[in-house]
A and B are shown apart, each in its own frame.
Chain A
């Protein structure tokens, strides 16, 4: 970190290349790992991102100056050789590899290694220094097979239908919602009802060739029963939800691994489906990267740091402003 990247006021900064990775303050050059709001912010002069990420950036941030960079395509910024590599988090998500001289640093951004039909699989990149996400860095987090989770969601939907109830599934509007719609294709070809926040992003995914169930907007005056409705968590408790009458609510998130989290939020069903790495994925990725120095960021960094140190891996927390619980 000291050599290639350092923490500056606006974010993680590379002096050799005079650019930032996912900066939170406005800067000249920003390399963006993915389009979630805590990583891609408005106000930078120039955005470097994967071609699949750029339409989403435009949708969320408006008219920005962006430059697409394919996975594995090395480009020069100042003295730094930079390349993006698939992170498997959401469509167009990337890890950033930065080489200066003979030193290599990788910023994982958010990543996962469980399969996801909506995006390219995670690519392992070896490095000297690894800045890794650590959202779910406790060993209680291990993800079940996403196929079986999708089956649970489908069974729940059908079970709600038998009782003439709507099944309202809360998902993060970018990434998780589309992943669920893609996974469900194995069980049905019915369409699902989409909240206004989910609809445009789903259209972008579809225009990039991602195969998913049909999604239809909410029609005023339509009487819904037995439908699967996909909405962001903020929709729960809002007047919008009232049109679905009697319904059960489910939530798709890694946090649903813990029973108390689900019960506290008042969801009937919690589906453990995460776009982040679980404990085993984190620890394995760190080992396989060959990094001598590991800097976990956003999440419970303290436990991961201590665990790595006990495994004789040099580790230190990196304080960033990336989301504490955006799932």
Chain B
């Protein structure tokens, strides 16, 4: 554990990519494979299953340090990180004489510790509490922090999977793509898997293994700067769940971009894939779908045949063990396929898009199912596409994806070949109503805001937003919030309804779960409208009218 805590500390102390790489390489060089496997798992941000709820932990924390609950709460709100709060509070209540070397020096390796954590599940509540409190009391500050972080889920330390992959690739002299591919899917942190991960490249891989997704950057300039439109393929930018459909050796796998297997959530797609030839991997988007009637379909100019359901409908299909017939009927899904990464068991990633698309078209012709479709390819001049893009909202899409016809399928976010050409977001002027302190680097600053719009004389909360303000504005607004607090509800403050902000969001749908009756997608702050009076903020009626625009 000590060497992992040391690695964490080194990573936390630098903003330099090279320093991070060399810290990781040094760790991997010295670590036992079993521990290194866990380090890969943790550093690449794979969420551990949370073993305990935060409320439970806070209660045990207060008990362990002998401080009142409210003071532990206030400390937590101030620090913005429960693990750090636990470590700091224990540090405070320890007698000064107890600092330093007196800690039980039984060194437990990272893997042994993680495995012990997993066994916690089998313990009675009281035993769990005892064990955790003993860990807190016996651990020095940094170790107590890291241990608690692992207990509560993710350990974020400014390292991405890409960087972990790079460190391993450098250390073991392998191409990054090989390591990246080996890590895809349901990679389990065992010594054997780690040794496979860093072993020589023999080309073999697991039948379920997906490819790293190719991702795009937003296009912020005129598309004409990309060159002639004939070099590009345009597709509708669907707002669903990015997915990879795999059929190998008769098995079907459906992966989400979060690298989770989602077959059980979307049985109709799996069923449709039965008819596909073996050895194929398809990249596409899962969408909730309203099927067009035949008559409508006749009139469709562009083969879309229907329309996506709002994203919040699709969400209902997730996180269930089994999807019942009612939900299958209410939220039918389709896969809009737009790329083929493997054909006859051979990777197509190095082939140009044009060739992959024609392969895809052929592959899909085997499956005659409404649940598996070819995402239409649109071509035309930039002017034509720009005009067509205006119809995005009514089609329930986010604009276009632009992909170079001669591009290969790359791993991760790469500039140049793929672009998101999105429509301008919806905007609404709303009033700041509540604020809560953020977490991590925004701890101790009020950065999580709730905004409201007018319904008659009342302000109704309708969206939360966390991003979009400049650092200097955050500091300014934080000061204002502290000075204009009306009431406090735990970590949340209500403020005088004075400040107006222009919020932007990508989508909007009716929702029974929200007090305002609407749910918005990706809300963020566009501008602080200091020029606007609170009376000039928008109304709920106006917000709801956006749903109507979007609905049909």
Contact = CB atoms under 8 A, between A and B. Distances in A.
Bind each other? yes
Interface of A: 138-142, 144-145, 257-261, 263-264, 266, 268-269, 278-280, 300, 303, 306-307, 310
Contacts of A268: 13-15
Interface residues of B, number: 30
B75 interface: yes
Interface in B71-92: 71, 74-75, 78-81, 84-85, 88-89, 91-92
Contacts of A260: 79-81, 439-444
Given A139-B75, A263-B441, 15 more contacts: A139-B65, A139-B67, A139-B93, A140-B75, A257-B88, A258-B78, A258-B79, A258-B84, A260-B443, A261-B443, A263-B440, A264-B445, A278-B92, A300-B78, A307-B71
Interface string B90-110: 011100000100000000000
11 contacts: A139-B71, A139-B93, A140-B89, A140-B92, A258-B80, A260-B81, A260-B439, A263-B441, A264-B445, A280-B92, A303-B74
Interface of B: 12-15, 65, 67-68, 70-71, 74-75, 78-81, 84-85, 88-89, 91-93, 99, 439-445
Contacts of A261: 443-444
B68 A307 contact: yes
A260 B85 CA distance: 12
A258 B444 contact: yes
A134 to B, nearest CB: 13
B70 A306 contact: yes
Contacts of B444: 258, 260-261
A259 B12 contact: yes
B73 to A, nearest CB: 10
Contacts of B440: 260, 263
Taking each of A260, A269, A307, A310, which has the highest tally of chain B beta carbons within 10 Å of its own beta carbon?
A: A260
Contacts of B80: 258, 260
B321 to A, nearest CB: 38
Nearest to A302: B74
A155 B85 CA distance: 27
A278 B92 CA distance: 9
A42 B291 CA distance: 77
Most buried by B among A145, A259, A261: A259
A269 B75 contact: no
B84 A310 contact: no
Contacts of B93: 139
A140 B78 contact: yes
A49 to B, nearest CB: 31
Contacts of A139: 65, 67, 71, 75, 88-89, 92-93
Given A260-B442, A260-B444, A280-B92, A138 B78 contact: yes
A157 to B, nearest CB: 14
Contacts of A269: 13
B448 to A, nearest CB: 14
A259 B85 CA distance: 10
Nearest to A303: B74
B16 to A, nearest CB: 8
Nearest to A260: B443
A140 B79 CA distance: 8
Contacts of B439: 260
Contacts of B99: 144-145
A280 to B, nearest CB: 6
Nearest to A248: B14
B68 A310 contact: yes
A-B pairs with the 10 shortest C-beta distances? A260-B443, A142-B92, A140-B88, A263-B441, A264-B441, A139-B92, A140-B75, A303-B74, A138-B75, A260-B441
Contacts of A310: 68
A106 B464 CA distance: 47
B91 A142 contact: yes
B92 A141 contact: yes
Contacts of A257: 88
B88 A142 contact: yes
Contacts of A306: 70-71
Contacts of A138: 71, 74-75, 78
